[in-house]
Amino acid sequence: MTDETKVGKPAAQLWTREGFGGPLSVVTRPTYGPDYLSVEGKHAPRRSVLNRMTPRDNDDVDALPSVVASSKLGVRVLVSGRRKPMPFVVRNAEADEIHFVQTGTVRFDTDVGSLTAEEGDFVCIPRAVAYRFGPVGESMRSVIIESPSAISLTPPAPFGMINFARDVKYAEINADIPAGGPTRLILKTADDEQTVYLMPHDPLAVSGRMAGNAPVWKLNLTKIQVLTYLPDGGPPSPFLSSTNGELLMFNLSARITNRPPVHINADFDEMVCYVRGPGAWGGCTEAGTLTWVPKGVVHHGPSENVPEGYLAWLIETRATLRWTPEAIATSELMETGQYGPHPSLRK
Ligand SMILES: [Fe+2]
């Protein structure tokens, strides 16, 4: 497969199960599979740029992050853009959360310890850990992935892909959080029905650790090695997965590889966050571009072989995502060749 796939020139098109890990069928076609003229309905590829979205918590200090997409399986994607720390505490009763910090420095206090996350950090807050976060400076922007089943770091090459001892940082006890006075504690559930407890104290006040490890950790995207199988590259490998396999997460940054084939992913929705350059990833040039190809949609995808380098991550989920009206309003239809705006928008 080369980058020169054009209409009129027979090109391979794959149908694959389990990402590229299961049964597959390859045919050649005289046409370019990703082309479509128009689409009506919800199951259509979209793209958005994070700094064009205004999350609810950007202007309303009492708001929770805005939901970008939700699903029947409970996997959700949210975006946060706080300018002040949360004046309340949240405990997600139904999902593990991964917060990816796109911009800013973010302080997380949790009921098992605290950490400060920088740009490019993934922060894991498992189900039922209470937390509060906010920017250390003026502002921040993060993408939050919620997974109902437990997520963990599961690199296929544990001694090379992630240096656990060096790069995975765990929350540390911060005994300076005062016991405080009455604090609102929001029990967060995927139905968005908030249950608010009024606590007589700050539930994040902690005195010390007696046993066990802090389940809250951070890891920077730049510390996760990309895997490639020379000379052709092959599919990327997930560094993180959920217990029941409904969610996989990959470093999709630049690597030496051939361009992916035109393919159809039978089992997973694919959402990529192009974090930043210097190089462009196909039609994605703006830092913080979120792209979504729903399962069953023919796509090609830009080449990852970008000598100038770029940073990106990918989630694959068995959940069928549905964008919220709020997110649809700040996004656009996407073509699935290079992941730029769909040609029908150029009018
Ligand atoms: Fe794909």
Quick check: 288 pLDDT over 50? yes
Q: Please give the distance, rounded to the nearest whole angstrom, from the Cα atom of residue 285 to the centre of ligand 1.
A: 19
Sign of the Cα pseudo-torsion (187, 190, 192, 193, in order): negative
Lowest mean pLDDT among 59-63, 133-137, 157-161, 174-178: 157-161
Query: Would you kindly state where each structural domain of the chain is located, as residue ranges?
Result: 11-48+224-345, 54-221
Quick check: 328 pLDDT over 50? yes
DSSP calls for 23-91 = -EEEEEESS-TT--S---SSSS-EEEEGGG---HHHH-TTPPPEEEEE-TTS-EEEEE--SS--SSEEE
Alpha carbon separation from 205 to 21, 89, 112, 178, 321 (Å, rounded): 45, 11, 9, 6, 37
- With cut-offs at 50, 70 and 90, classify the pLDDT of residue 3: very low
Nearest to 333 by CA among 39, 104, 30: 39
Q: Please give the distance, rounded to the nearest whole angstrom, from the Cα atom of residue 270 to the centre of ligand 1.
A: 7
Q: Please give the distance, rounded to the nearest whole angstrom, from the Cα atom of residue 102 to the centre of ligand 1.
A: 23
Q: Please give the distance, rounded to the nearest whole angstrom, from the Cα atom of residue 152 to the centre of ligand 1.
A: 22
With 0-12 / 13-18 / 19 or more C-beta atoms within 10 angstroms meaning exposed / middle / buried, residue 199 is: middle
Beta carbons of 142 and 106 less than 8 angstroms apart? yes
Q: What percent of the chain has pLDDT over 70?
A: 97
Max mean pLDDT range (18-27, 59-68, 209-218): 59-68
**Which residue in this structure is represented by tokens 């964008």?**
323
At 274, is the secondary structure helix, strand, or coil? strand
Using CA atoms, how far apart are residues 173 and 112, in angstroms rounded to an integer? 7
- The whole-number pLDDT of residue 9 equals 67
Q: Please give the distance, rounded to the nearest whole angstrom, from the Cα atom of residue 184 to the centre of ligand 1.
A: 42
Q: Please give the distance, rounded to the nearest whole angstrom, from the Cα atom of residue 318 to the centre of ligand 1.
A: 13
Q: Please give the distance, rounded to the nearest whole angstrom, from the Cα atom of residue 258 to the centre of ligand 1.
A: 14
Once rounded to an integer, what is the mean pLDDT over residues 153-157?
Answer: 90
**Which class is domain 54-221?**
mainly beta
Once rounded to an integer, what is the mean pLDDT over residues 261-268?
Answer: 96
Q: Please give the distance, rounded to the nearest whole angstrom, from the Cα atom of residue 263 to the centre of ligand 1.
A: 6
- The whole-number pLDDT of residue 2 equals 41
DSSP calls for 189-248 = -TT---EEEEESS-TT------SS--S-EEEEGGGSPP--BTTTB----EEEEETTSSEE
- With cut-offs at 50, 70 and 90, classify the pLDDT of residue 347: low
Q: Please give the distance, rounded to the nearest whole angstrom, from the Cα atom of residue 337 to the centre of ligand 1.
A: 11
Q: Please give the distance, rounded to the nearest whole angstrom, from the Cα atom of residue 2 to the centre of ligand 1.
A: 16
* Cβ-based neighbours of 248, under 8 Å, separated by 6 or more: 19, 238, 240, 241, 242, 268, 315, 316, 317
- The whole-number pLDDT of residue 1 equals 38
Q: Please give the distance, rounded to the nearest whole angstrom, from the Cα atom of residue 317 to the centre of ligand 1.
A: 11
Element (H, E) at 122: strand 121-125
Using CA atoms, how far apart are residues 106 and 141, in angstroms rounded to an integer? 9
- The whole-number pLDDT of residue 68 equals 98
- The whole-number pLDDT of residue 158 equals 66
Q: To the nearest whole number, what is the mean pLDDT of the chain?
A: 94
pLDDT tens, position by position, 91-135: 999 999 999 999 999 999 999 999 999 999 999 999 999 999 999
Strand order in the sheet with 113-117: 113-117, 106-110, 130-135, 89-92, 183-188, 195-199
Q: Please give the distance, rounded to the nearest whole angstrom, from the Cα atom of residue 59 to the centre of ligand 1.
A: 36
User: Which residue has better confidence, 236 or 3?
Assistant: 236
Lowest mean pLDDT among 10-24, 61-75, 142-156, 272-286: 10-24
Q: Please give the distance, rounded to the nearest whole angstrom, from the Cα atom of residue 131 to the centre of ligand 1.
A: 34
Beta carbons of 65 and 78 less than 8 angstroms apart? yes
Once rounded to an integer, what is the mean pLDDT over residues 181-192?
Answer: 91
Q: Please give the distance, rounded to the nearest whole angstrom, from the Cα atom of residue 46 to the centre of ligand 1.
A: 14
Q: What percent of the chain has pLDDT over 90?
A: 88
Q: Please give the distance, rounded to the nearest whole angstrom, from the Cα atom of residue 264 to the centre of ligand 1.
A: 7
